Amino acid sequence: MSTETAGTAPAGHATRALVMSDVAARAGVSHQTVSRVVNGHPNVAAMTRERVQRAIAELGYRPNTAARALVTGSSRTIGLVTINVNQYGPAQTLIGLEEAARAAGYSLSVAILDAGEFADMRDAVDRFVAQSVDAVVVHTASFQAVEALRELDPPVPLVAVQMGAEEVRPTVTVGQEAGARLAVAHLLGLGHRTVHHLAGPAYSLEAQRRVQGWRCELLAAGAPVPELLHGDWWPGSGHRTGRLLAQRIRDGEDVTAVFVGNDQMALGLMVALHEEGLDVPGDVSVVGFDDVPEAPYFSPPLTTVRQDFAELGRRGVELVLAKLAGRDTLPDQVPPVLVVRGSTGPVRG
């Protein structure tokens, strides 16, 4: 069966669909060579591959993915189940996965769920399997989703990205705990006696990993561990916490450094401190997490922990390809990077 599709036929053949032999004739290669290029086969010389790709672009040829799936048993598609893409981190991870999948010759089919309940995740995975995807990636950092993953057993490889539950499935994640420790160590190194922490929501594994890193670094340094502060990832909760901390400072509490669970909450917190007449970093140093594109333009520019979402996506797709090839895999972790800007400074006095 041919994996052909309609397109702009060569001159004199306007009434029929383009086929691989048209591309082969234009590129001056065999039909089999075109098939290898279309299906991402590695054993094609670089110059030949470029000639075939140029012919494909000139003719407007598009492979028939349904027919190709029948012939090869592969749809060259990866299914992605994700939640909460309205937040910066999940959205950027999705983009990173799509770009990496495309670079590897795969397309990405996405299912966005409202929650990580077992029934919803099972239905999403079942739909992907019915669509003959080659593998499924689950991207969410909720405890609920982790429990659901323990029960799922689809007939295609299933891997996790940014979940932080290495014992459940093959997974790749950014080092959340390591990133939190970088933030705390930076603030302690500036002379702050301790570091307060505004955490993300309790349902988030990422938030919990950052709490663990914050607490472990304080304990390792022999610093006091303050009461944990709770937020919801959004600037409003950061603003409320900033006003609360300003009141505590007025009441004589020693608050000079805050590690915030993400950059959006850090923005709200810094705005509130400014409204309360406090200077950042003169009175309070602030570190965020994520390194959103706006972070260098906050006032002052935000010191934060950067997550490399493009690298996360690339390694996630590498994990999928390894599973498809039957290779053993180990949990993988992308290292976080501390980006120092103007929101942190030495403790006053």
pLDDT digits (tens, 9 = 90+) for 242-301: 999 999 999 999 999 999 999 999 999 999 999 999 999 999 999 999 999 999 999 999
pLDDT of residue 311: 87
Question: Given a cut of 60, is residue 6 above it in pLDDT?
Answer: no
For residue 32, the tally of other CB atoms under 10 A from its CB is 11
Interior/surface letters 171-200, b for 16+ CB within 10 angstroms, e for the rest: bbbbbbbbbbbbbbbbbbeeebebbbbbbb
Question: Given a cut of 80, is residue 1 above it in pLDDT?
Answer: no
- The 285-290 sheet, strands edge to edge: 229-230, 196-199, 257-260, 285-290, 303-306, 337-339
Domain architecture of the chain: domains with CATH: 20-63 (1.10.260.40), 72-174+310-334 (3.40.50.2300), 176-308 (3.40.50.2300)
For residue 61, the tally of other CB atoms under 10 A from its CB is 24
pLDDT of residue 5: 46
Q: 121, 79 in Cβ contact below 8 A?
A: no
| Structure tokens that stand for 196 in this block | 């307060």
| Structure tokens that stand for 91 in this block | 């959205």
pLDDT of residue 63: 64
pLDDT of residue 70: 47
Please name the amino acid found at residue 220.
A
Interior/surface letters 76-101, b for 16+ CB within 10 angstroms, e for the rest: bbbbbbbbbbebbbbebbbebbbbbb
pLDDT of residue 3: 45
Please name the amino acid found at residue 342.
G
